[in-house]
């Protein structure tokens, strides 16, 4: 192959006019041919799902599978108590709790004062007082559905949001963690809320 130097010069730089290697040309021609079929398949007759649509289809399938699994294996008190005994599950729940809940409930769940003396906005989850119930199903429902605070003075600004968007798996882990700290009565915990009732178990 004779290397011809092209006539132009940029900033003293010259270039050869080499022929492109065949392997390179064929990948280029191949890509051109492929693009025609790709365009027809995905855009003209629409027989294929583009990545975004394919992802949604997968998501819907996964959600349907989870729904079916939940129906077959519904959340029950026994199941929640079982999960609260599982160290890996509780550790996952703790990590989620630190990430999503500790601003209001503090890392230990006691909703105690921070270094500026401000108590957490949430309720103490380690004492025997519960607003919405401290039994496993009530705790699970509180986290899954959220709760409206029953004080007319605070009205709709009170209560806690639903955490359903984290996914059922995460809500189960969070419930397991809350059950694991329930009754631990941390020393720096917040006083019971106005509407909380003492619960024996």
Q: Taking the complex as a whole, how short is the minimal distance between the CB of residue 44 and ligand HEC, in angstroms?
A: 47
- In the complex with ligand HEC, the residue whose CB is nearer, 89 or 97, is 97
What's the Cα-to-Cα distance from 184 to each of 32, 86, 93, 110, 128, rounded to whole Å?
Answer: 67, 17, 16, 9, 9
3 state DSSP class of 198: strand
Query: What tokens appear for 105 in the block?
Result: 């409930």
To 10 degrees, the CA torsion angle through 185, 190, 196, 197? 30
- In the complex with ligand HEC, the residue whose CB is nearer, 42 or 166, is 166
Segment near ligand HEC (CB under 6 A), from 15-23, 50-58, 75-83, 154-162?
154-162
CA distance 195 to 132: 9
Q: Taking the complex as a whole, how short is the minimal distance between the CB of residue 87 and ligand HEC, in angstroms?
A: 18
The single residue among 108, 126, 141, 142 that binds ligand HEC, judged by CB under 6 A, is 142
Query: What tokens appear for 47 in the block?
Result: 């027989």
Give the count of beta carbons closer than 10 Å to the beta carbon of residue 140.
24
Query: What tokens appear for 40 in the block?
Result: 């027809």
- In the complex with ligand HEC, the residue whose CB is nearer, 89 or 149, is 149
- In the complex with ligand HEC, the residue whose CB is nearer, 42 or 128, is 128
Q: Taking the complex as a whole, how short is the minimal distance between the CB of residue 88 and ligand HEC, in angstroms?
A: 18
Q: Taking the complex as a whole, how short is the minimal distance between the CB of residue 122 and ligand HEC, in angstroms?
A: 3
158 binds ligand HEC (CB under 6 A): yes
The contact pattern for ligand HEC, residues 74-113, with x = CB under 6 A and - = no contact, is -----------------------x--xx-xxx--------
Specify the DSSP class assigned to residue 197: E
132 binds ligand HEC (CB under 6 A): yes
Query: Judging by beta carbons within 10 Å of its beta carbon (0-12, 13-18, 19+), is residue 176 exposed, middle or buried?
Result: buried
φ, ψ dihedrals at 80, nearest 5°: -65, -45
Q: Which of residues 172-191 bind ligand HEC (CB under 6 A)?
A: 174, 178
Query: What tokens appear for 9 in the block?
Result: 């010069």
**Applying CB under 6 A, which residues contact ligand HEC?**
97, 100-101, 103-105, 121-123, 125, 130-132, 139, 142-143, 149, 158-160, 163, 174, 178, 193, 196
């Amino acid at each position: 192959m004779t290397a011809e130097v092209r006539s132009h010069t940029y900033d003293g730089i010259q270039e050869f006019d080499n022929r492109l290697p065949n392997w390179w040309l064929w990948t280029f021609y191949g890509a051109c041919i492929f693009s025609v079929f790709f365009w027809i398949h995905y855009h003209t007759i629409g027989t294929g799902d583009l990545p975004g649509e394919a992802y949604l289809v997968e998501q819907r399938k996964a959600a349907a599978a989870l729904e079916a699994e939940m129906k077959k294996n519904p959340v029950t008190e026994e199941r929640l108590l079982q999960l609260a005994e599982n160290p890996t599950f509780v550790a996952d729940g703790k990590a989620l709790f630190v990430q999503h809940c500790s601003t209001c409930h503090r890392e230990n769940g006691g909703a105690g004062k921070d270094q500026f003396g401000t108590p957490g906005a949430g309720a103490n989850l380690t004492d025997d007082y519960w607003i919405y119930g401290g039994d496993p199903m009530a705790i699970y429902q509180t986290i899954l559905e959220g709760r409206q605070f029953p004080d007319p003075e605070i009205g709709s600004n009170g209560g806690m949001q639903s955490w359903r968007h984290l996914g059922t798996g995460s809500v189960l882990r969070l419930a397991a963690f809350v059950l694991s700290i329930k009754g631990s009565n941390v020393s720096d915990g917040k006083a019971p809320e106005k509407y909380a009732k003492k619960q024996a178990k």
